[in-house]
Amino acid sequence: MERFSKIKQELAHYDQEQVLAFWEELSEQEQHHLLDDIERVNLAEISIISRKLLSNHSPERNNIRGVPYDKLEDFTETQLHRYKERGLELIRRGRVAVVLLAGGQGTRLGHEGPKGTFDIGLPGHESLFELQAKALLKLCKKTGCRIPWYIMTSPANDWDTKDFFKKHGYFGFYPDDIMFFLQDTVPTLNSAGKLMLKTKSSLSRSPNGNGGVFPALKSSGALDDMEQRGVKWLFQYNVDNAMIKLADPVFVGYAEEKDSPIATKSASKRNPEEKVGVFCLIEGRPAVIEYSELTKEESGNPEMMNAHISIHLFKLDFVKAVADQPMPYHLASKAIPTLDERGEEVKPSEPNGYKLEQFYFDLFPEAESIAVLQVPREKEFAPVKNKSGEDSAETARAMILSNANQDQIRYRLGGEGL
């Protein structure tokens, strides 16, 4: 078979022939499936990533400093009112869309299914999806505008996510205002930089990280849809933030006034060791450094305490300009199901390989400026990442109920409250 010979030769060139270890055991259909899988892989790119993995090289960063930012708590009532009214007007005019990153599963939470379907234990037993849908519908009713909601899924949870929304009547949304789009997947590597098998006839693949959002928005037609709707700003967030203020009008007004390609919310780090990325300027350009890639000196730098909490507003023009830009891959050490040398399935409890992830914030240096608004963590950031302890359903639930009680008190005292 000419196709097989060509692929085998290319695999040999890049020292990746192990993926053909069970070739003789496969049916003709399975052989074609495996070859299809291999042809999807950019072996030259994988070779570069493999060398990076084995060299354990840390990139040098020069001229790094903290990013200028504003604090929400420092704004006067007049400023807050101005930002809010400006933001509400933009939303009324259909200039704001919402983008949700929801490609993850609830495995770490002990939950089967997409993370967005997880119930964090509130009295109403709403899932994360339902909490967010209710908040967005409330804003739609307040502004009289149908806000489009673009939801990124992964191959692992796409069907389940769509089915969940359908079974719940799209939580009151017009189905035409919700667009699901799929992020891409990339191969996994073992600790020696070799491609891993999922089965004898298929490669192990995983979602390509949050960096897949911009190219997926483009390839799915979502960017074209936004342009036709007259959208200017994309409000983007992660599904696991149980206290997200969706398309926050104050934030929208702030972004519009600052007029940078990117506006972002941040929070002060709890301590230098907190496992969270940080905002900074590198060579004068906006950047985020993921916590796993921070040096000890950078972690201890008092200027590097502005935590990246994955709440952004992007100008549509900026996203369109960078959607095709190449991004580096980052290596995430994970326990990855695979096959052993006998072809038997292995489900390790400890990391045995690497998932390759791209981060959308690697494109931040393409923007000439960034507007950073630091917000109180206890009001806006309650990530549900762990089954127990810090950043769990328990801590998120406590924050939500505490804020609800404070809102009730303000309401009774004549404030805006609820």
Q: What is the share, in percent, of the chain residues with pLDDT greater than 90? A: 86
Winning range, highest mean pLDDT, from 23-32, 61-70, 296-305: 23-32
Collapsed DSSP state (helix, strand, coil) of residue 53: helix
Confidence band of 407 (pLDDT split at 50, 70, 90):
low
**Tens-digit pLDDT profile for residues 37-67:** 999 999 999 999 998 888 866 667 778 999 9
Structure tokens at 71: 């604090």
**Tens-digit pLDDT profile for residues 151-162:** 999 999 999 999
DSSP 122-158: -TT--BHHHHHHHHHHHHHHHHT----EEEEE-TTTH
Burial 56-74 (b: 16+ CB within 10 A, else e): eeeeeeeebebbeebebee
The average pLDDT across 79-107 equals: 97
Q: d(Cα 296, Cα 162) in Å, to the nearest integer?
A: 43
Confidence band of 275 (pLDDT split at 50, 70, 90):
confident
Burial class (CB within 10 angstroms; exposed 0-12, middle 13-18, buried 19+) of 128? buried
Report domain extents, the chain: 75-269+306-380
**Tens-digit pLDDT profile for residues 237-253:** 999 999 999 999 999 99
Count of CA atoms in the C-beta half-sphere (13 A) of 142? 18
Q: d(Cα 79, Cα 250) in Å, to the nearest integer?
A: 9
Q: Provide the pLDDT for residue 409.
A: 42
Q: Provide the pLDDT for residue 263.
A: 98
Of residues 57 and 326, which shows the higher confidence score? 326
**Tens-digit pLDDT profile for residues 181-234:** 999 999 999 999 999 999 999 999 999 999 999 999 999 999 999 999 999 999
Q: Provide the pLDDT for residue 406.
A: 63
DSSP 71-90: EGGGS-HHHHHHHHHHHHHH
Phi and psi angles of residue 48, each rounded to the nearest 5 degrees, phi first = -65, -45
Closest by CA to 198, choosing from 13, 28, 34, is 34
Structure tokens at 16: 């990746």
Closest by CA to 90, choosing from 244, 297, 250, 258, is 250
Q: Provide the pLDDT for residue 56.
A: 66
Q: Provide the pLDDT for residue 18.
A: 96
Helices 2-13 and 28-39 pack at an angle, to 10 degrees, of 50
Strands 353-357 and 189-190: antiparallel
Q: Provide the pLDDT for residue 369.
A: 96
Residue position matching structure tokens 């009324």: 92
Architecture of the domain spanning 75-269+306-380: Alpha-Beta Complex (3.90)
Structure tokens at 366: 């393409």
**Tens-digit pLDDT profile for residues 338-363:** 999 999 999 999 999 999 999 999 99
Q: Provide the pLDDT for residue 418.
A: 36
Distances (CA, A) of 16 to 47, 197, 234: 9, 11, 41
The average pLDDT across 93-107 equals: 96
Does 416 have pLDDT greater than 60? Answer: no
Collapsed DSSP state (helix, strand, coil) of residue 239: coil
- In terms of C-beta distances under 8 Å and separation of at least 24 residues, what long-range contacts does 44-51 make, across chains too? 44/14, 46/14, 46/16, 46/187, 46/189, 46/195, 47/14, 49/189, 49/193, 49/329, 49/331, 49/356, 50/189, 50/193, 50/194, 51/193
Q: Provide the pLDDT for residue 410.
A: 43
Does 412 have pLDDT greater than 50? Answer: no
Q: Which residues pair with 345 in a beta bridge?
A: 339
The average pLDDT across 281-297 equals: 91
Of residues 60 and 299, which shows the higher confidence score? 299
Handedness of CA 357, 360, 361, 365 (dihedral sign): positive
Mean pLDDT for the chain overall:
93
pTM of the model: 0.93
Calculate ∠ Cα 29-30-36, nearest 5°.
Answer: 95
**Tens-digit pLDDT profile for residues 120-151:** 999 999 999 999 999 999 999 999 999 999 99
- By the 8 A CB rule, do 316 and 233 touch? yes
